A and B are shown apart, each in its own frame.
Chain A
Amino acid sequence: MLPQRMKKAMTDNPKKLANLIDLVNLPSTLREFMGQSQTSRLGCFKRVWSYIKENNLQDPNNKNLVNCDEKLKSVLLGKPQVELTELPTLIKLHFPKQPR
């Protein structure tokens, strides 16, 4: 199946892996949310997801939706409501590919 092959490629490819776990300097918006100046994309994702859980931001009627509070809005393009499906994509926007 496709996803599995993609995953394999991901872990096999050191550049893509580095993209995920290397610490990078954060832009000011994210810095405020994370409370630290450096993090990896993976760390950021985990932080955002745990923030959603801690503050019960999932829509009670449809758990797949997240109703953003002000703080979350600041990191997720200011959208009032996001789908869990697009969470990784939205977070990826903060971590542009670094020219090497």
Chain B
Amino acid sequence: MGKLPPSLRSANFAVNTLIKTPSPSPNSKPHCYPKKSQPPKKKPTSNTEPQLPSSIVAFDSTSLSDAKTLFNSLISNSRNPTSDNKFYNAVLQSFSSNSTLQDSIFFLNHMIKVHPPFSPDRFTYHVLLIQSCKSVDLSLSPVHQVLNLMTTNGFPPNKVSTDIAVRTLCSLGHEEQAIELVKELSSKDSPPDTYTYNFIVRHLCKNRPLSTMNNFIKEMREGFDIKPDLVTYTIMIDNVCNSKNLREATRLLGVLSEEGYKPDCYVYNTIMKGYCMLSQGGEVLGVYMKMQEEGVKADLVTYNTLIYGLSKSGRVKDAKKFLNVMMEEGHVPDAVTYTSLMNGMCREADPLGAVALLEKMEARGCAPNSCTYNTLLHGLCKGRLLDKGMKLYDVMKQNGTKLETGSYGTFLRALCRNGRVAEAYEVFDYAIESKSLTDVAAYTTLESTLKWLKKAREQGLVI
């Protein structure tokens, strides 16, 4: 119960969407996402060609000569081979997915030779680029090879190439190489756009120490005059809040205003979330007031975080007030909102009120999620209302709702305390059967609960 998930998750989500939602810059974004989904998209195209079963695009052999033969037969067997480059790119991609970079390059040359109408485009080289990034271990030489190949064939690397390379490298954990590549490309006139830049920053936040990211930002600023934007700052603040680094968060806020940025809704949401993270949920109200002052419009996540923070710091009355405020503003409270509020009510030893709220939310057409049920179960058990808890558990079982570690432990203890060990065993079975917990986690909790029960009995605390 002391953990953050519900509102946090949504706040996190907001930051992510923030990065993706802004309208894509002219030619950068559309490329890298379609890229990934290319093979599935490709299949329909190849299916329209009756002689080409879609399975033919899948190479099961890694041998270059086999692939060449396959391609030859593909071309000679179909009366009028498609002129759609996508098809050839898909063929190349499918081959490259289980062969070496060198072979892929040979195969591409072969394709051009055998079937002259096919002229490789940028996508074609990006297929190779992705593969080269995957084969990086310590040096970037394969990537350079492909980049040179692109330049000599009239497709000098651009923003898209940078983005693709960086995303591939980062997804494989080669952050250092990605940084090196970005710096190199920046000096060669294809600097990363804001999306690529923010992607790296976010990735570094998650996977590297803070100093790596700070160095990167500093180097980009000094070397290439690429500065963090508002989104970058949001990512950074979010990150330091997650690691409970209050001092750094305050410093970043200062930098933010020095740079002349006006915090938007997402920044405020992140700050609120940060306070919740630092167990200073009461501070959220101040942040909300500031937002009102600055004329920033609060969104659903703001209210969810606000209600969560207030509930967590024991100000349920205020939290309830904001439930009404948000509805007046036209926001529809969701499961997260209600669960946060129930959490607060359970903390105030008012589990019955929380159950009443459950009925209310269902009446309003909002379906509870597993977190809602777990919160209530935990609250009821803590409030010594085991029978109500048992009823709730039956509902959970009917819906196949998973138990969470915290509520599972509390429930077991409550059952054992009331001498209902057999039922505790049954809950143990359900936890395993519904895959809520691992066998080990479920068993250790049961074992330690029984041990505790034995001790309590010896001391005469429990009958």
Contact = CB atoms under 8 A, between A and B. Distances in A.
A23 interface: no
A2 B453 CA distance: 11
A34 B445 CA distance: 24
B448 A7 contact: yes
B379 interface: no
B444 A7 contact: yes
Contact of B439 (A42, A64, A85, A87): A42
Query: From DSSP, what is the main secondary structure of chain B's interface residues?
Result: helix
Interface string B420-446: 111101000100000000011101111
B66 interface: no
B390 to A, nearest CB: 14
B445 A3 contact: yes
Interface string A62-100: 011000000000000000000111111100000000000
B157 interface: no
A85 B409 contact: no
A80 to B, nearest CB: 18
A58 to B, nearest CB: 6
B70 to A, nearest CB: 47
A39 B385 CA distance: 39
B406 to A, nearest CB: 8
A24 interface: no
A66 B183 CA distance: 70
A15 to B, nearest CB: 14
A4 B441 CA distance: 11
Contact of B422 (A42, A45, A63, A86): A63
A11 B450 contact: no
Nearest to A6: B448
Contacts of B450: 85-89
A3 B421 contact: no
A58 B422 contact: yes
Nearest to B423: A63
Given A64-B421, A84-B425, A85-B453, A42 B448 contact: no
Contacts of A85: 416, 421, 450, 453-454
A7 B445 contact: yes
B409 A11 contact: no
Contacts of B273: none
Interface in A31-72: 42, 45-46, 49, 58, 63-64
A40 to B, nearest CB: 10
Contacts of B419: 64
A84 B422 contact: yes
A10 B423 CA distance: 24
Interface residues of A, number: 25
Nearest to A63: B422
B224 interface: no
Most A Cβ at <10 Å: residue of B416, B447, B450: B447
A11 B444 contact: yes
Contacts of A84: 421-422, 425
A83 B409 CA distance: 20
B452 interface: yes
Contacts of A63: 421-423
Contacts of A86: 450, 454
Interface string A11-27: 10000010011000000
A58 B423 CA distance: 12
Contact of A1 (B413, B421, B422): B413
A91 to B, nearest CB: 10
Contacts of A58: 422
B443 A17 contact: no
A83 B423 CA distance: 13
Contacts of B421: 63-64, 83-85
B270 interface: no
A84 B428 CA distance: 13
A49 B439 CA distance: 14
Nearest to A53: B429
A2 B419 CA distance: 19
Contacts of B443: 20, 42, 45-46
Contacts of B447: 88
Closest 5 interchain pairs by CB? Answer: A63-B422, A3-B448, A6-B448, A64-B421, A84-B421
Interface of B: 409, 413, 416, 419-423, 425, 429, 439-441, 443-454
23 contacts: A1-B413, A3-B413, A3-B449, A3-B451, A3-B452, A6-B452, A7-B409, A7-B444, A7-B448, A17-B440, A20-B444, A45-B443, A46-B439, A49-B425, A64-B420, A64-B421, A64-B422, A84-B422, A84-B425, A85-B416, A86-B450, A86-B454, A88-B450
Given A7-B445, A85-B450, A89-B450, 12 more contacts: A1-B413, A3-B413, A6-B448, A7-B441, A7-B448, A10-B448, A11-B441, A11-B444, A17-B440, A20-B444, A64-B422, A86-B450
